C-alpha cells in the first residue's frame, strides 16, 4: 500500500487546522496537527514529516523563530517548510524566506494553491536523477553525499540553496535569468515569484562565505557562477 506524504501542520486555530487537515487528506496527504512549537517539536522528535506547514503567528515561539531553529538543526534542516500567514507585504515574505522557509502562502488561500505548493516543494526535495560530483576552482559539490566544500572546508547549505548551486556549477560561466532559474531549479511551481530567486541567491552567498564572490550579479540579466567572479558586472 502506497504511503501518503506526511505533512506537519503547525496552526493554533483549531478550525483552520482542521480545515487544512481535511483538504490535505482529500489531496492525498497524511496531516499531523500541532498547536504550537512545543507540540510540533514532539512530533519531530518522534518521526520526521515530509514537509511542514507553519503558521507565522503562534503562542510562544513564532513561526519565524521555529523555521530558523529547524533550518539550523542537522536533523530537520532538509525538511521543506511552507509559511502560512496573513502578512502579505513583501518585507514579511522576504523575512519568512530569510528565516529558512521554502515557500510562503498568504491567507486566505485556495485549497488547490496550497496543495500545488506542497507538491512543488516535495518535487524539489526529491533526489536528483544524476548523483554526480562537480568542481569549479576550489569549490566542490558532491550530489551523492549532499556535501559542498571550498578549499577543503565543508559548507552547510539548505536544500534549495544546494539545488541552486548544483545547477550553477553544472552550467558555470553562463548568465542565467531569474525566470530561467525558476524554470530549471523550481520546476513548474507557478506561484513562485522572481523575487524568490534573489532571496535564495542571497542565502546561498551567505552560506558560501569566501566563495560567495564566485556568484556574479549581471545587471539587467541575472546571475552567473564564475571561477574568478566579482559579484557585480
Torsion region of 93: left, alpha or beta (phi above 0 gives left; psi -120 to 50 gives alpha): alpha
CA–CA gap between residue 157 and residue 201 (Å, rounded): 11
CATH fold label, 133-225: Arc Repressor Mutant, subunit A (1.10.10)
- For residue 150, what is its C-alpha cell? 571550498
**Mean pLDDT score of the chain:** 85
* Residues β-bridged to residue 53: 9, 82
Q: What element of type H or E holds 114?
A: helix 111-125
Task: Among 7-11, 93-97, 159-163, name the most confident range.
Answer: 7-11
* Residues β-bridged to residue 81: 52
pLDDT band at 229 (very low <50, low <70, confident <90, very high): low
Q: What is the pLDDT of residues 26-67, one digit of tens each?
A: 999 999 999 999 999 999 988 888 899 999 889 888 999 999
For the domain spanning 6-125, the CATH number is 3.40.50.2300
CA 37 to chain centroid: 19
Least reliable range by pLDDT among 65-74, 85-94, 153-162, 167-176: 85-94
Q: Where are the alpha helices (DSSP H) in 35-110?
A: 37-46, 63-72, 90-98
- Per the document, the length of the chain is 233
Are 232 and 219 within 8 A, CB to CB?
yes
pLDDT for 3 equals: 62
- Percent of the chain residues topping a pLDDT of 70: 89
CA–CA gap between residue 185 and residue 171 (Å, rounded): 12
For residues 130 and 171, the model is more confident at 171
Are 165 and 141 within 8 A, CB to CB?
yes
The order of strands in the sheet holding 103-106 is: 30-34, 6-10, 51-55, 81-85, 103-106
**Under 8 Å CB-to-CB from 126, ≥6 apart: which residues?**
none
Residue 2 has pLDDT above 50, yes or no: no
Task: Please tell me what DSSP assigns to residue 184.
Answer: I
Determine the Cα angle at 64 with ends 62 and 67, to 5°: 110
Q: What is the pLDDT of residues 68-121, one digit of tens each?
A: 999 888 888 888 999 888 776 667 777 777 888 888 888 788 889 899 989 988
Are 10 and 37 within 8 A, CB to CB?
yes
Q: At what angle do helices 14-26 and 111-125 cross, to 10 degrees?
A: 70
- At residue 96, φ and ψ (nearest 5 deg) are -65, -45
pLDDT for 27 equals: 92
CA–CA gap between residue 146 and residue 150 (Å, rounded): 14
Residue 139 has pLDDT above 50, yes or no: yes
Cis before 108 (ω within 30): yes
Domain spans, the chain: 6-125, 133-225
Amino acid at each position: 500500500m502506497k504511503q501518503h506524504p506526511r505533512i506537519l501542520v503547525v496552526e493554533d486555530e483549531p478550525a483552520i487546522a482542521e480545515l487544512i487537515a481535511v483538504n490535505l487528506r482529500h489531496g492525498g496527504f497524511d496531516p499531523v496537527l500541532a498547536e504550537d512549537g512545543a507540540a510540533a517539536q514532539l512530533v519531530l522528535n518522534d518521526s520526521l514529516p515530509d514537509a511542514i506547514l507553519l503558521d507565522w503567528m503562534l503562542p510562544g515561539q513564532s513561526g519565524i523563530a521555529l523555521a530558523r531553529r529547524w533550518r539550523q538543526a542537522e536533523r530537520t534542516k532538509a525538511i521543506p517548510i511552507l509559511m502560512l500567514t496573513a502578512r502579505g507585504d513583501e518585507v514579511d515574505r522576504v523575512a519568512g524566506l530569510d528565516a529558512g522557509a521554502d515557500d510562503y502562502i498568504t491567507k486566505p488561500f485556495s485549497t488547490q494553491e496550497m496543495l500545488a505548493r506542497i507538491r512543488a516543494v516535495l518535487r524539489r526535495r526529491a533526489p536528483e536523477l544524476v548523483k554526480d560530483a562537480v568542481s569549479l576552482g576550489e569549490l566542490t559539490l558532491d550530489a551523492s553525499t549532499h556535501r559542498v566544500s571550498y578549499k577543503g572546508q565543508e559548507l552547510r547549505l539548505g536544500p534549495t540553496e544546494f539545488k541552486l548551486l548544483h545547477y550553477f556549477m553544472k552550467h558555470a560561466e553562463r548568465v542565467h535569468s531569474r525566470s530561467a532559474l525558476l524554470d530549471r531549479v523550481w520546476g513548474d511551481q507557478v506561484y513562485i515569484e522572481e523575487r524568490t530567486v534573489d532571496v535564495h541567491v542571497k542565502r546561498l552567498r551567505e552560506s558560501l562565505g569566501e566563495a560567495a564572490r564566485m556568484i556574479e550579479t549581471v545587471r539587467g540579466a541575472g546571475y552567473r557562477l564564475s571561477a574568478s567572479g566579482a559579484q557585480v558586472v
